Structure 1
Amino acid sequence: MHLASSLLLIALGGAAGSVARALIALALPARFPWATLLVNVAGSFLIGWLMVRFGPAEQPAASSVRSLWAVGFCGGFTTFSTFSWQTLDQMTKGHWGAAAANVLLSVALCLFAVWLGFRLGRV
């Protein structure tokens, strides 16, 4: 697939994923972030299913599907799905240390970064 076609599919999927995430957030307002939890779980399920269902990325049809749905839609819907897939990929390859490091570093560094951004934004 050509780069321009791939980027167009990613953009279309990303737009659809972002709109879907916003609609879910509007439908589930609450004190606990249920919408975010639902989106993260659903996106993680979807990317896991897509990556297995459509085979290796080298196949032209798989490349288009992955660009539109896995990278685009899931990426726009939730980046947590990508994090989840990459962690599982490390685990299935037997790279348990890399998987654990990805989880620990992602959670710790992202919480630190959001805290730091929050603090600096208040200055």
Structure 2
Amino acid sequence: MIVGLLVLLGGAVGAPVRALLDKRLAVRLPWGIFAANVSASFLLGLVGALVTTGRLPGWTLALVGTGFCGALSTYSSFANDTLKLAEKGERRLAVLNLLLNVLCGLAAAVIGAALGRAG
């Protein structure tokens, strides 16, 4: 019950942050979704490492990891934005969007985890 409430609370904050980023940063590429996905990946790597090393309590992962990061990041919007770019004939931008989201998200998670283990 408590874990569900923590996830709900984190999600209630993460989803509006994603929507705000999407509205503020959208230009030719969907930079808002990119920023949301990469920052959520970093934060999840960091919090996961801090919980694993015992520097944060386990419930933090439900609140921040599953709730906030889960609501902040979005695979479906990323996939839809990539598809829209390809359908508009912007195939190079679609591939760039795909590569940037996947590679930068993975790098951000690795960096976050490394920082979480280091301190």
Q: TM-score range by the shorter chain?
A: 0.5 to 0.7
Separation in 1 of the partners of 2:26 and 2:65? Answer: 26
- Whether 2:100 is the aligned partner of 1:69: answer no
- Whether 2:33 is the aligned partner of 1:36: answer yes
Structure-to-structure mapping, 1:1-123, within 5 angstroms:
4-55=1-52, 62-79=57-74
Instruction: Could you list the structure 1 runs, at least 4 aligned residues long, displaced by more than 3 angstroms after superposition.
Output: none
Identify the structure with bigger relative contact order (alpha carbons < 8 Å, sequence gap 6+). 2
| 8 Å Cα contact 2:7/2:68 also seen in 1 | yes
Give the TM-score normalised by the residue count of structure 2.
0.58
CA drift of 1:26 comes to 1.6
Residue identity opposite 2:14 in structure 1:
G
CA drift of 1:27 comes to 1.3
Give the gaps of 5 or more residues in structure 2. 76-104, 111-119
Give the gaps of 5 or more residues in structure 1. 89-123
Residue identity opposite 1:11 in structure 2:
L
Separation in 1 of the partners of 2:74 and 2:49? Answer: 18
Rg larger for: 1
Identity of aligned residues (%): 34
Deviations 1:35-80 (A, max 9, x none): 1111111111110000001226xx7x63210110001000011155
| 8 Å Cα contact 2:33/2:74 also seen in 1 | no
